[in-house]
Amino acid sequence: MYYVYLLRSRKDQKFYIGFTSDLKRRFAEHNNGESQSTRSRIPFDLIYYEAYKSKADAMTRERKLKGFKNSYKELIKRVANSIKIN
């Protein structure tokens, strides 16, 4: 399985979108400062993920969320309705 995930930094409340084949490992890497792109914003909460059977589908979804602001905004709205996001 491949996962597209949404993290929220507890430090600055900003979001990070990524994809991986091992969600537990990747989440730990982000929180342990092993990812250069997110190191300065730790710690993180995993607030949402989607599972895909193919790597190509997960990569496509990640690119759409990162590249198309409407997709990203809709995801944030959907997540915000499920949990409290300040």
pTM of the predicted protein model:
0.83
Per-residue tokens: 71: 């997709």
User: Mean pLDDT throughout 53-77?
Assistant: 85
Domain extent for 16: 2-82
Number of domains in the chain: 1
Q: Is the dihedral of CA 81, 62, 39, 1 positive or negative?
A: positive
Cis peptide bond N-terminal to 43, omega within 30? yes
Q: Look up residue 57 and give its two tokens.
A: 């589908």
Task: Name the strand (E) or helix (H) holding 20.
Answer: strand 15-20
If you ran DSSP here, which 8-state letter would residue 7 be given? E
What does the pLDDT average to over 62-75? 79
pLDDT at position 68, please? 74
**CATH number of the domain to which 20 belongs:** 3.40.1440.10
Q: pLDDT for 8-64, tens place per residue?
A: 999 998 889 999 999 999 999 999 999 998 999 999 999 999 999 999 999 999 998
